[in-house]
Amino acid sequence: MSKGLKQRIVGSLVLGALGLIILPVLFDFTDPSRVDRSSKLPPAPEMSAVAVDKAVRPTAVDGSSLKTAIFDADKLIPASADDKPIELDKMNMPKRWYIKVGTFDNKDNANAALNRLRKKSFKAFLNNVQGSNKTRYQLWVGPNLDKRRAQLDQGKIDLELKVESKIFAAVL
């Protein structure tokens, strides 16, 4: 046998072996319409609807007392730097933080500022204060349960209305 013929035979055997190894890797020869039925899924769990009771206000809590407690600006004291951001008051209720935006002599100006803050999604309200011979209108934002959030809101309000607002804490 000649040397060239031996090289051709060895080359054919090497190419055939490579084809047997590489072809199955490159091409998938399984039937695509065949479905794998070997997995066993568990049956769906049985669930029933849960009835949820509607929340009812306790009889000891009067709705008007809640409103006056939340919006009673006369019982607010200026916040100090050493106040904790989140704490409980004497009645084990979360301490509330308010921002006093300003005091207005003109009701139209107070309402304009109130509407401007409400459009920016702030919880704003007016408090009427009787002075000597005239009513003044205090603009407040709150309550917030976190002093840090009140401080962030204070910065936004000061930029929006170009005022120097102050943070107050509710005292019961």
| Cβ neighbours for 85, distance < 8 A, ≥ 6 positions apart | 146, 147, 148
In the chain, what are the domains?
Answer: 68-170 (3.30.70.1070)
SS3 122: coil
Q: What is the pLDDT along the chain (172 residues), one digit of tens a residue?
A: 788 888 999 999 988 888 888 877 777 767 667 776 777 778 888 989 888 888 887 776 666 555 556 666 667 777 877 777 778 777 777 788 899 999 999 999 999 999 999 999 999 999 888 878 888 999 999 888 888 999 999 999 999 889 999 998 886 5
In this structure, which amino acid lies at residue 72? D
CA distance 18 to 16: 5
CA distance 67 to 108: 24
In this structure, which amino acid lies at residue 23? L
